[in-house]
Amino acid sequence: MNPAALPGDVWSYNRKLFAFDRGMRMRAQHQKQTERKEWVQLYREDINGLCELFTHRMDVYIALNGLALVGVMSLASPFPPPENVASLDHTALALLFYLSLFSAVVFLIFSTWLAIEGSILAHVSGLHMGFQCKQLRDLPTGVEVDRGRARMQDFEETEASQQMRMPFVDRARNFLFGGGEGRSGSAEVGNN
C-alpha cells in the first residue's frame, strides 16, 4: 500500500460510503412512500366497503318494511271474511282493529323513512371520509424528496475531517477511551 495514495483512498472510500448510505436512505424513503400509498388505498377501500355494507343493510330494511306495509294494508282492505270467523259488528272492536293497523302503518312508514335517511347518511359520510382521505399525503413533499436525494455535492461540502476520516477509527477511539460507548452508541454508528 502506497502511503502517498492513502488520503485519496480514504477520501474515495468515504465518498463511496456516503453514496451507499444515501442510496440506502433513498430506498428506505421509497419503501415508506410505497407503504403510505398502499395504506391510503386500503383506507379508501375500507371506507367504500363500510359505506356499501351499511347501504345494503338499509336497502334490506326498506324492502322488508315495504313488504310488511303491503301486508298491513291488505289487512285493512275490505275482503269477504271467512265463513267461520265472526264479522266486526262492534264499533269498539273495529276501532281498535283499525287503530292498531294505523299504528303499524305509521311505524313502518317511520322506520322506512329512517332507513332511507340512514342510507343517505352512509353515502354522505362515505363521500366526506373519501374527500378527507384525499387530504392524506400519498405523495412525498418536496422536503422529503430533498432529504432523500443523493448528491455528491453534499459530500464535498462537508467538513474535511469528515471527508478524510479513517474507517472505524472514531468507533475504536470511543470504545477504548470513551468507556465502551462505541458498542451501543447510535451516534457513533452513524459517523463511521
| Residues 85-102 pLDDT 10s | 656 567 777 788 888 889
More confident residue, 177 or 166: 177
Task: Give mean pLDDT, residues 67-77.
Answer: 85
pTM above 0.75, yes or no: no
Q: Where are the domains of the chain?
A: 3-78+87-154, 161-192
Q: Which of 45, 44, 56 is nearest to 122 (CA)?
A: 56
| Residues 28-52 pLDDT 10s | 888 888 888 888 888 888 988 999 9
Model confidence at 3, pLDDT cuts 50, 70, 90, reads low
Q: Are 71 and 108 in contact (CB under 8 A)?
A: no
How many whole angstroms separate alpha carbon 172 and alpha carbon 181? 10
